[in-house]
Each structure stands twice: as C-alpha cells, then as structure tokens.
Amino acid sequence: MNWRLILIGVILLGVELGEGSANNWLTLAAESGHGQTPAVAAVFFTVFACVEAATRIFGGPLVDRIGRVAAIRITTFLGIAGLALFISGTSVWLTIGGTVLWAVGVSMGFPLGMSAAAEGGKNTAARLSVVASIGYSASIAGPPIIGVLAESFGLLGAFWLIVMLLTAAFCAARSVAPSARKAQK
C-alpha cells in the first residue's frame, strides 16, 4: 500500500469536495442560508469561479517560490477560514470574503496533487489514476452527500464536512513534497 498516494488522495478528496459543493450548492446557500437574492447568489458563484481560475492561472510562480507543501498548507488554510466565514457570515461582505477564500482554498490541491502523484518512478499512469479517482469521486459523490447532510443540519451546517476534509488535506500536505527520487536528479 502506498501511503503517499493515499495522503495525496486525502488532499484531492478535501479540495474536490469543496469545489464540487461550491459548483452545486453555493448559490442556494447564499440565497437560502444568507437571504441573498438569486441575482446576488449568482454573483457569489461567479466570484468563486473567477477567483479559483485566477489562482490556478497565476499561482504557478508562487508555488515555484514556496513549494508545493507550503502552497497546499496556505491554500487549504485559507479555504478553511473562508468556509467558516461563509457559513457564519452575518453580512454580504463577510460571506463574499469567505467565498473568495474558499475559492483560493480549493484551487491548487488538484493540480499540485496530480503533479506529486506523477513522481516516483514506475507506474505513473496507475498512480495518477488512483489519486484522480479519489478526487473525481469526491467531486461527483460529495455534493449529494452534502445534500443528505443538509436535510438534517441545514445547508450551511452541512458545509462543516468540507471544513473537516480541508483540515485533513492541510494535515496531509507533506505528502506532496518532491519525492526522494526526483530530489536526487
């Protein structure tokens, strides 16, 4: 069993659940959980999508400078803080700020996790398929799980699951460090 791949999968699980849940539930949470109009709720999702894309596009040089481990730790920490702000925000500015941080928080985990999984010698395709399967499973199965939890805890309460999984991703960040084989080259 390859524990490094499992831990990289934990990172992908957290960030992809966060991204998939935003794609499926963010506008409804802004509308029903925070009393925003449908138009303002749509702005929340637009902000999320634009910030996530911008972070992925422009974050590469920062990752080159600080490394993958620090990038995962910083982004997942911001995601945790952002979700907490979004869940408990009492004003539109707190919740939109939380949305921005949430988007940054889930932006870099998938590409950096896939890069880390590709390292390590033989069976690159198999390693990539393992972590990609975990990530995509979270993206596909996670939002319905959030919906089921929302039945009991409310939609904003269900988002605490994402916070827990982003915390696990934060804790697993060391797994994306360059492999010993690559470091020797």
* Each residue's pLDDT tens digit, 49-79: 999 999 999 999 999 999 999 999 999 999 9
**Token couple for 23:** 């794609």
Question: What pTM value is reported for the model?
Answer: 0.93
pLDDT score for 2: 86
The CATH fold assigned to 3-174 is Growth Hormone; Chain: A; (1.20.1250)
Report which of residues 184 and 97 the model is more confident about. Answer: 97
pLDDT of residue 184: 44
Residues 131-183 have pLDDT tens digits of 999 999 998 999 999 999 999 999 999 999 999 999 999 999 999 998 765 54
CA atoms within 13 A on the CB side of 117: 27
For the chain, give every domain's residue range: 3-174
What the block records as the tokens of 133 is 């399967």
Secondary structure percentages of the chain, helix, strand, coil, to 5: 85, 0, 15
State whether the Cα torsion 79-81-84-90 is positive or negative.
negative
| Residues 9 and 116: beta-carbon distance below 8 Å | no
